[in-house]
Amino acid sequence: MRKISIYTILLTFISSLTIAAEVNIFNARHYKADAELYSKFTNKTGIKVNLINGKAGALEKRMIKEGADSSADLYITADAGRCGAFKAKGMTQGGLISPAIKAAVPSNFRTNHWTGIAKRARIVYYAPDRVSGAELSGLTYESLADPKWKGRLVIRASGNIYNKSLVASLVKNNGKKATADWAKGVVANMARTPTGNDRAQIMAVAAGEADIAVANTYYLALMLSGNKGAEQQAAAKKVKAFFPNQNDRGTHMNISCAALVKGAPNKANAIKLVEFLLTPESQEHFTNNTFEFPMIDGVSPSPLVVNNIGLDFKQDLKTKVSSYGAKQADALEVMTAAGWK
Amino acid sequence: MKKINIWYLSSFLISFVVLIPIATVSLSFFEETTEYYKILKETFLLEYIYNSAILLFGVLILTFIFGTGTAYLVSFYDFPGSNFFKWTLILSFAVPPYIYAYSIFAFFDNYGTAFTILKNLFGEGEYNKHIPKFSGMFGAILSLSFSLFAYVYILARASFLYQSQNLIDLSKNLGFSKIRTFLQVILPSARPAIVAGLSLVAMETLAEFGAVDFFSINTLTTGIYNSWIAFDDFAFANRLSFFLLLFIFALFVLENLSRKQAKFHSNSSSRFKQREKYKLSGGLSFLAFLFCFIIFFLSFVFPFSQMLYWTIIYSDNLFDLKILSLIYNTMKLAFLSCSALIIFSFISNYGMRVSKSKPLNILNTLSISGYAIPGVILAIAFITFISWFDNSIVKLLGFNSIKTVFFGSILGLVIVYFIRFYSLACNGLKSGYEKINISVDESAYLLGYSKLKTFINVHIPYLRNSVLFVVILISLEIIRELPITLILRPFNFETFATTAFIYASEDLLEAAAAPSLFLILIASIFILSTSKFILRD
């Protein structure tokens, strides 16, 4: 009797899963633009997009615990390190590759388990009235530990994934020991205990709380767009963007990525969706709404990005983004040991 | 062993379900943690414990001052607005600590609302430097205190109302001043109620996740979540949970001890003399008004207005919100959980009443411990248990995996809510049952009523108010609930709380304003429509 009822529950559950054409996304990117693209995709293909929104870490744990029974097809998150680490746990599968994807995404920003769908750079913002050109000249991530920035730098908490990936890239390039010393220098230079999001760092510079801040490129454009109110728009005009490491490997790049989850029940639909996100029209939608850099050639970033941040900079294409995942634990360890809150 | 009957079995079943997480956590205590974090965890552990203790201490002091202060004023004195404050002070319940935290940040941060106000009043200027930043630990203490003090307020007020006039007359005759009367007579005799309120605050504080996470403070609870999520160390997470459970268990014991004293303190009703409120005038009446007004303003008007303001200026976020679906989801969870909780609470309470079995009583006491366990721990323990059960027993018996039945399903959510809120439901009905004299049952039997008929025709009508009260309490909890819903909910399923939290955690704090505002509104409607039950003795 109990056996029958368990089977009934399972059957209804499984049948409800397989009847409709659909794709299940564990989604850690919560931009409005994404949701709009998903409904465009559904209109175009008839494939329903099911979302479970959450913070990346919690979503990963749930997929891991659900294991082979997980209904997840795609895992979409705003950091290459996460996709890399998730792959390292054996939670993704190969096959997220098609001629369309290959043609669209440079090989540095994909594996056959996951691929980038949009790009961002993590850069330095400064107050032009308090930071001279001479001081900035030749600035690198490494030189953020220079004592001349003592009490002048803001950056968010070490738990933040963008910082983990940035520091992971430093571990990859300079080694763990050197990065551990660097982290101590950075902590000594902080104008305040890390608090708030990336925009809060930019605003701290605008407000005179600090002279330089580390934050992602799209945030300044977002503030300038006026979508976040007149105050933030005015504040954004008081800071300028600077691309570090132009004389060596280039500025730290990161991606939003989509990973194909192991045992995905709707693999073909998942690939279709990723291909859709990489079409010029979708990429344009991203650049104009989230202010990220496009993943593909032939699409221009938003004018706000082009005019205020610039495009003419050297990207770090040498450091594979997949190393962010591999060095993530080391990055967290050196930051924690340095007392980076 | 005639005691082993249907009541015994069902109570046993409930206790078993509720005790699963505690057992899971305790058993995992001895598992190996990962090698890498062995090095770092000693520092972490101390930091977690230290921060939890500071937070707890700060919140207890503030909630004590806010709660007993306002309760004392509105129950002993008559001053302008005293009746208004009597019921509006409980509106702070509608603002969960994490929404309070968003409001603090939105108001005080660089270029926040405070800046806008100053700019509009005095023109352009460098105001940011002069606006205090209530971030970090201090911000967390404020958020928790303003949203939790009502526990102390409600219980202290109930106790003040029942203090006999004789006692106060006595102190007056002894020539005590008002302050001395308050400190040496009123406060000590209300102590058990205040301690009970404070221990509720303490449990909520230790379990709090949203606000402390927002201010990046590592407490035991966020530490549990982070060591699981960021450090991938499940065993360490369970070990931290074990420490937290010890912490909570100590509070639990303290609270129970002080409740026992409550019986000793409570005065006999026969000599009860109705107390008259003392009418304040002049400066004193203004001060009393000011104190209550400030608390009411800061605890409710401030977060509500901040969220309303942001909802209006970022109104496109409002139109993106699927309001009807969010209301439906929230209500569905509340309805299913309330139904399950009420039904099982009835069974176990009725079971205890008819069987008068001692082991049953003990089982029942054990099964109300779920409320003391943070939602994060419950959700993780639930996942651990189901995975273990699935991997060992279900697979062994050759059945298909049951994981998808429990993870990411409404069923799983309702089960974990059940574990968390069973004590609220069970105790709520218990206090109702205690008011029905056992002789009522006996009379019904004499009249030839069966047990079932007694239950339906006698108990249920008597308990209607208790049930309503329980439904409101649980619904409020579920409307605000965050970690369990976040970890276990199904596809395409959001509540106001999860929507607000996700936006806030992804640098989209402005977008969190609209769902937060709706959460406050719905919770306020619940509170206002039932304030007469909450403010009852």
Interatomic CA distance for residues B507 and A290, integer angstroms:
12
Helical (H) or strand (E) element with A53:
strand A48-53
pLDDT interval class at B38 (50, 70, 90): low
The pLDDT score that the predictor gives to residue B341 is 93
Q: Residue B405 in contact with residue B383, Cβ under 8 Å?
A: no
CA of B128 vs chain A CAs: smallest distance (Å)? 6
> Is a pLDDT exceeding 80 seen at residue A15?
no
Tokens 């039904």: give the residue. Answer: B343
- A162 to chain B: closest CA residue: B506
Enter the pTM of the model: 0.86
List of E strands, B43-85? 77-78
Tokens 């205690």: give the residue. Answer: B434
Closest CA to A244 of A147, A167, A314: A314
A84, A43: one domain = yes
pLDDT interval class at B328 (50, 70, 90): very high
Residue ranges of A 62-81 with Cβ closer than 8 A to chain B: 62, 65-69, 71
Q: Which domain holds residue A260?
A: 2-119+255-301
A163, A271: one domain = no
pLDDT digits over B362-380, tens only?
777 776 667 777 888 888 8
Closest CA to A229 of B304, B514, B106, B132: B106
The single-letter DSSP state of residue B463 is T
ipTM: 0.81
The pLDDT score that the predictor gives to residue B300 is 97
The pLDDT score that the predictor gives to residue B20 is 83
A274, A231: one domain = no
Does the beta carbon of B111 lie under 8 angstroms from any beta carbon of chain A?
yes
pLDDT digits over A129-156, tens only?
999 888 999 999 999 999 999 999 999 9
Task: Report the residue from B36, B403, B502 with minimal CB separation from A54.
Answer: B502
pLDDT digits over B42-52, tens only?
667 788 889 99
Report the phi/psi class of residue A297: left, alpha or beta, with left for phi > 0 and alpha for psi in -120 to 50: beta
CATH number at residue A35: 3.40.190.10
Domain annotation covers residue A309: no
Across the interface, do B228 and A61 touch by the CB < 8 Å criterion? yes
- Axis-axis angle for helices A56-66, B375-389 (nearest 10): 20
Q: In sequence order, which residues have a C-beta less than 8 Å from that of residue B360 and are 6 or more positions away?
A: B3, B7, B8, B11, B348, B351, B352
Q: Residue B469 in contact with residue B427, Cβ under 8 Å?
A: no
The pLDDT score that the predictor gives to residue B423 is 84
pLDDT interval class at B220 (50, 70, 90): confident
CA of B436 vs chain A CAs: smallest distance (Å)? 39
What is the total count of domains within chain A? 2
A140, A75: one domain = no
Does the beta carbon of A226 lie under 8 angstroms from any beta carbon of chain B?
no
Domain annotation covers residue A307: no
pLDDT digits over B482-522, tens only?
889 988 888 889 999 999 988 887 778 888 999 999 999 99
Question: With pLDDT > 70 as the criterion, what percentage of chain A qualifies?
Answer: 94
The pLDDT score that the predictor gives to residue A5 is 53
Tokens 């009393």: give the residue. Answer: B288
Domain annotation covers residue A133: yes
Partners of residue A10 in chain B, C-beta under 8 Å: 400, 402, 405
3-state secondary structure (DSSP) of residue A212: strand
The pLDDT score that the predictor gives to residue A171 is 96
The pLDDT score that the predictor gives to residue B266 is 46
Q: Residue B411 in contact with residue B382, Cβ under 8 Å?
A: no
A196, A168: one domain = yes
The pLDDT score that the predictor gives to residue B236 is 77
Partners of residue A341 in chain B, C-beta under 8 Å: 216
Instruction: Name the more confident of B388 and B50.
Output: B50
Domain annotation covers residue A49: yes
Interatomic CA distance for residues A257 and A80, integer angstroms:
6
Average pLDDT on A237-254 reads 94
Report the mean per-residue pLDDT for chain B: 83
Domain annotation covers residue A108: yes
A201, A330: one domain = yes
Interatomic CA distance for residues A170 and B118, integer angstroms:
42
pLDDT interval class at B534 (50, 70, 90): low
Instruction: Name the more confident of A332 and B259.
Output: A332
Across the interface, do B230 and A58 touch by the CB < 8 Å criterion? no
A325, A293: one domain = no
Average pLDDT on B299-319 reads 92
Q: Give the range among A170-174, A286-290, B141-145 with minimum mean pLDDT.
A: A286-290
Partners of residue B502 in chain A, C-beta under 8 Å: 30, 53-55
Average pLDDT on B281-296 reads 93
Q: In Å, what is the CA distance from B447 to each residue of A145, B351, B367, B440?
A: 87, 21, 35, 11
Long-range CB pairs of B297-301 (<8 Å, 24+ gap) are B298/B146, B299/B66, B299/B89, B299/B91, B299/B92, B299/B95, B299/B146, B299/B147, B299/B149, B299/B150, B300/B88, B300/B91, B300/B92, B300/B94, B300/B95
pLDDT interval class at B68 (50, 70, 90): very high
pLDDT digits over B415-465, tens only?
999 999 988 888 888 877 877 888 888 888 888 888 788 888 888 888 887
Domain annotation covers residue A57: yes
A245, A269: one domain = no
Rounded to a whole number of angstroms, the CA Rg of chain B reads 25
Please calculate the CA angle B74-B79-B83 and round it to the nearest 5 degrees. Answer: 50
Give the DSSP letter string of B185-205.
IIHHHTHHHHHHHHHHHHHHH
A323, A187: one domain = yes
> Is a pLDDT exceeding 60 seen at residue B36?
no
Cβ-in-10-Å burial (0-12, 13-18, 19+) of A154 comes to buried
Domain annotation covers residue A32: yes
Domain annotation covers residue A224: yes
Q: Residue B138 in contact with residue B169, Cβ under 8 Å?
A: no
The pLDDT score that the predictor gives to residue B138 is 94
A293, A180: one domain = no
Closest CA to A134 of A152, A121, A148, A153: A148
3-state secondary structure (DSSP) of residue A77: strand
Residue ranges of B 421-480 with Cβ closer than 8 A to chain A: none
A150, A43: one domain = no
CA of A295 vs chain B CAs: smallest distance (Å)? 21
A279, A148: one domain = no
